[in-house]
Amino acid sequence: MVELRDISIAFGGIRAVDGVSLDLYPGEVVGLLGHNGAGKSTLIKCLSGAYKADHGQIFINGQEVTINNPRDAREYNIETIYQTLALADNLDAASNLFLGRELVTGGGLLDDARMEAETRRILARLNPNFKKFKDPVSALSGGQRQSVAIARAVYFNAKILIMDEPTAALGPQETQMVAELIHELKRDGLGIFLIDHDVHAVKQLCDRAAVMKNGQLVGVVKVDEVTEDDLLAMIILGKKPEHLAA
């Protein structure tokens, strides 16, 4: 469904991502592992439109595409949940959910009532405890903020979902909720890139894991074929485990 081919991007002489190729199939979750600064987030931002790759190609459903900005990415049904959540703290849930894609009335004015109704509908599904529709999102708990960010990605019929450390700021119960959601979305046939530090979570949630180090791809493995220790070794040593090395 998605194929990143030989992607490179450099910032001021430092090659943050160096010739990485990676693919993703429908209904699959691919975990991206690596140290801080390994280039995981940078790679994925080339796909979500936040950065433009210096070099390399992106294919979606076999067609080569150019993604210059987040708007382009959304055109291809690529939705991103950023680590920082990318919420405007001073706006309420509905405004954030529809930010950049507001519903308008015939006269071109914002249809706040309809946006709030839609927001209530989707959040009732994702997080039934969510009640604070009128408050700015700065007044919400970490889990509730996460719900808004996820709702934003899910509402617009994402085909490809990028989640950058979705559980970093969450408690165990909320983490469980996100895990269930990932399974549900997977059943619906979405392809998901999951960026995470946590080897354990990746092993549980993902089908395949891609490990990066210093901007380069160490390897892509099926999680069933490796142990957590193998994955850790890949992250730290930057080498594929011996039993998989061809």
Return residues touching other proteins (CB under 8 A).
48, 50, 69-71, 74, 80, 82, 84-91, 95, 99-102, 104, 108-110, 112-114, 116-117, 132, 135, 138-142, 145, 169
- Side-chain-facing half-sphere of 37: CA atoms under 13 Å: 5
**Shortest gap between Cβ of 91 and other proteins (angstroms)?**
6
**Shortest gap between Cβ of 99 and other proteins (angstroms)?**
4
> Can you tell me the distance from the alpha carbon of 22 to that of 5, in angstroms, rounded to the nearest whole number?
7
Nearest to 199 by CA among 177, 221, 171, 169: 221
**Shortest gap between Cβ of 201 and other proteins (angstroms)?**
21
| Minimum CB distance to other proteins smaller for 64 or for 133 | 133
Nearest to 177 by CA among 228, 129, 119, 117: 129
| Minimum CB distance to other proteins smaller for 155 or for 209 | 155
**Shortest gap between Cβ of 174 and other proteins (angstroms)?**
13
| Minimum CB distance to other proteins smaller for 115 or for 221 | 115
| Minimum CB distance to other proteins smaller for 64 or for 89 | 89
167-201 burial, b at 16+ Cβ within 10 Å, e below that, comes to: bebbeeebbebbeebbeebbeeebbbbbbbebbeb
Structure tokens at 113: 């009532």
